[in-house]
Structure 1
């Protein structure tokens, strides 16, 4: 069994009006994310949606100082973006779909993700979503430290800048030993 993680693919991170939107590159990912999710479910694999959750003006959360309010509980900004929203509505109760809130960049921080994966003997995790050089990167670093095999779908991730995106893809491959697919040249030259 393997797991597909679709990280933070919400209106606040993807929609044109989102306060932290990764823009058109992120918006274009929706069909690929649904295609991968369908493929994973058809094979009996897990689809996991760790999704950022905040309360407004939280004085104890470090992101409050860094970013405008985003992914606030019970707001449209926290809803999944585009066709992924329809997919989630149709599959949220499937046995191999797990949706949970996260409160840090990494999907492993303060969550039961490691336990969920180990209890199902999942060793391969496939990463998709936003942002390549923030939440995807931090999740990958934790996965590396926990000895998971990491596969990053370059056609399933996006970020605020192409520089950050390319750097993170290079880092996944050359520092974390992840498989980046499709495997193209991510040199930083």
Structure 2
């Protein structure tokens, strides 16, 4: 029997995707929504997992390094922290499923300070498909962590986006050439 796989939908929130989001990728982030939902439905239908590693911050956290780099974003229990557009109702309609999980994270990588690696290993998952935003920040750091933990990586280029096109393109090349990821 083939091991299950996991689709990670990274940081696909209002603050990172909506026009009025605090750190919005804007149109590039919005454009990938149909592909993310298509993949999520395919993963569910195939008996695989869909995981939402999602950035979470506390207001005025003076000790978090991102406080010095970015404006407040993805603050707990705010509109900005909610999943973007039709992804939020998709998640809500599947949240009770044994195939859909949500992980709060407080660093760029979905593996740092979370139980994600333990969850994946417990479920015998060794192949990950990474989607979401930002290609050159949280998706990149998650991919590097996954590579270092020996996960096989697939990156659908039509399901990742950034507010920096140069960084986005660089990250796609890095995934392929330095992490051995399959770019589709």
How would you bin the TM-score normalised by the shorter chain? over 0.9
Which of 15, 20, 37 lines up with 2:18 in the alignment? 15
1:157 partnered with 2:140: no
Residue matched to 2:7: 4
| TM-score normalised by length of structure 2 | 0.97
Q: Which SS does the other structure have where 1:47 is aligned?
A: strand
Question: Which residue in 1 is equivalent to 2:50?
Answer: 47
CA distance in 2, matches of 1:173, 1:143: 14
Match 1:138 to one of 113, 136, 141: 141
Instruction: Choose from 178, 181, 188 the match for 2:181.
Output: 178
Residues 1:36 and 2:35 aligned together? no
Q: Secondary structure at the match of 1:168?
A: helix
Question: RMSD of the alignment, in Å?
Answer: 0.6
What is the alpha-carbon distance in structure 2 between the residues aligned to residue 136 and residue 29 of structure 1? Answer: 14
CA distances 1:48-75 after superposition (whole Å, capped 9, x unpaired): 0010000111011000000000000010
- List structure 1 segments (4+ residues) > 2 angstroms apart after TM superposition: none
Q: CA deviation at 1:82?
A: 1.2
- CA drift of 1:158 comes to 0.1
In the other structure, the counterpart of 2:89 is 86
Match of 1:126 in 2: 129
Question: Separation in 2 of the partners of 1:116 and 1:155?
Answer: 27
The separation in 1 between residues aligned to 2:137 and 2:31, in whole angstroms, is 19
Q: 1:158·1:165 contact (CA, 8 Å) conserved in 2?
A: yes
Between the aligned partners of 1:137 and 1:99, the Cα distance in structure 2 is 19
Match of 2:171 among 165, 168, 172: 168
> What is the distance in 2 between the residues matched to 1:174 and 1:28?
26
Unaligned runs of 5+ in 1: 182-189
CA deviations 1:72-107 (Å, max 9, x no partner) are 001000011111111011111110111010000000
Q: Distance in 2 between matches of 1:120 and 1:88?
A: 20
For residues 131 and 54 of structure 1, the distance between their equivalents in structure 2, rounded to whole angstroms, comes to: 17
Matches within 5 A, 1:54-73: 54-73=57-76
Residues paired across the two proteins, number: 181
Q: Structure 2: 5+ residue runs without aligned partners?
A: none
Shift of 1:28: 1.2
